[in-house]
Amino acid sequence: MENNQKPKLGGGIMTISIIQLIVNAFVILGLIPLIFARDMMIGQFKTIGADIPMPTTSESIISLVLTLLLVIGIILILCKKAAGVYIYFTVVVINLIYPIVMNGFKLASLTGLILPVLMAIFIYLKREIFGFGVNAASTNPPSDMQ
């Protein structure tokens, strides 16, 4: 009797995905007003006497695009698509390189790698779901074994 059950993602991938989706939802909600109402926000900060450095509009747009791509990658991972893994880790690498290029290296920027490293471990453990690590030899036995 064959086992026709579809493999499940596992608790680790689900947990990391949900945490990142929630965090990225807050990031998107914070970036949208920063892009469209930047002047008003700067005016409000000046009236209360706060001198808070604000990112430029282009930096905010780049952050918003990268965050949206990260969310798309996570959704595709939850749909068990290999493209989601590629998108997710490409955006993670870009999110690591971009601040280093713009502001220089800071050790604190490595803390953003905690969840992606955990995600990489969990995806590695369930790599068969995404089609990674499947040997051609296991699917097509050599001709002398048939």
> What is the chain's mean pLDDT, rounded?
87
Query: In this model, does residue 95 exceed pLDDT 90?
Result: yes
Give this prediction's pTM.
Answer: 0.82
User: Has residue 116 got a pLDDT over 60?
Assistant: yes
Mean pLDDT of 135-145: 51
pLDDT band of 105, cuts 50, 70, 90: confident
142 in Cβ contact with 93 (< 8 Å): no
Question: Which pLDDT band, with edges at 50, 70 and 90, does 135 fall under?
Answer: low
Cβ(35)–Cβ(57) below 8 Å: yes
Burial 30-47, CB ≥16 within 10 A → b, else e: ebeebeeeeeeeeeeeee
Q: Where are the domains of the chain?
A: 11-128
Residue 104 predicted with pLDDT over 80: yes
Task: Work out the pLDDT band at 51, boundaries 50, 70, 90.
Answer: confident
